[in-house]
Structures are given as structure tokens and as C-alpha cells.
Amino acid sequence: MAEVKLMQPQWVQTQEMLVMGVEVRTTHAQEANPATAQIPALWNRVLTERLLDQIPSRVTPPLLLGVYTNYLNADRGEYSLIVATEVSDIDNPVEGMVGLTIPAADYLVFTAAGQSPESIRQVWHEARQYFAGSARTKPPFERTYTLDFERYHEAGLSLYIAVRQR
């Protein structure tokens, strides 16, 4: 297994963004079991069937996003994942898709080189470790569990975790 190059997290304030894509509702327990995991099949379907190309209001150049939202019980319960792209309008979603406004917010951004499954696992692990901290090393930010997203780009991926200052 190759080592994944991770960057130090950066605090950013984002602007509102409209997105549209295909959604699943799942839990970490479901995703840990290959027999019940829905996320790999969702990504495979969206990419192989080129579903995001069917969106007429898609912004150019297209962005590929994995949007995590509607968390129940922080990250221990159900959540939604929407494999999405940025759009100019969410008023008339394509059949089988959902539109969503990603609000302007504060995020910590964790970045990894590459887009392999290992890169994705590593960047999420790094984010969880950052927020776990310890009594002596509490980070200056805490997760809000409102909406997080992965943004895929040529150099790799950036994981945006919604935060507030402690």
C-alpha cells in the first residue's frame, strides 16, 4: 500500500454553491460491511452511467463532489451522501436526483494527492484524528456535522469539513 501525501488542514470560508446529484442514505456500520455498503455502488453507477452529464444546468468546467449531509447523532448514525456536481439552478431536479444548496460556511480543508480509495480513506482518517484530539490538544475548531464534502480535482481531492471555532 503506497503512502498517501496529505497536506496540513487549512481554514476557509466558502461561498454558497448549488449542487445536484444522486443520493443514498446509509451508516458507517452499513458501509463497513461489503454486503450492505451502498457508497461504492453509487459512485460506480454515477460514473459509469455518466449520470451527472444529464444535468442541463451543470456548471462548466464541471466539479465532481461527494456531499455528506443530514447527519443523525453526529457521525454515529445515518447520513446522506450525494454524488453531485455544481449547477446554476436546482429548481427542476433531473428525475432520480436531488438539488441542494451548500451554504456559505467555515470549513477545515484536508487535501490529499490522488483520488484512489486509499487516498479517500486516508484523508477521512486524518480529519477524524484531527477532531479527536485529546484533553491537552483540543483543536481550535469543532465539527458542526451540518454538511461536509469531497471535491475532486486534477491533483487529488480536498475534504471540506464544516466547523466552528471553540
CATH code at 147? 3.20.80.10
Q: What is the number of other CB atoms lying within 10 angstroms of the CB of residue 98?
A: 16
Q: Which helix (H) or strand (E) holds 147?
A: strand 147-153
**Segment (H or E) for 122:** helix 117-132
Q: Are residues 92 and 112 in the same domain?
A: no
Dig out the grid coordinates for 65 from the structure.
Answer: 463532489
| Count of the separate structural domains present in the chain | 2
Please name every residue paired with 165 in a beta bridge, in sequence order, or none if there are none.
141
Q: What is the pLDDT of residue 162?
A: 97
Task: Single out the residue in 102, 133, 152 at which a domain terminates.
Answer: 102
Mean pLDDT for all residues in the chain: 92
pLDDT at 110 over 50: yes
The verdict on 5 and 66 lying in the same domain is no
Residue 6 sits in the same domain as residue 32: no
Instruction: With a cut of 90, say whether residue 27 has pLDDT above it.
Output: yes
Asked if 94 and 24 sit in the same domain, the reply is: yes
Determine the pLDDT at residue 1.
47
Among residues 79, 83, 72, the alpha carbon closest in space to that of 22 is found at: 83
pTM check: above 0.95: no
Least confident of 35-44, 70-79, 101-110, 157-166: 70-79
Residue 133 has pLDDT above 80, yes or no: no
Which of 102, 131, 155 lies at the terminal end of a domain, its last residue? 102
Residues 38 and 94 in one domain: yes
Predicted local distance difference test score (pLDDT) of residue 136: 64
| 97 and 107 belong to one structural domain | no
> 155 lies in which domain range?
1-14+103-166
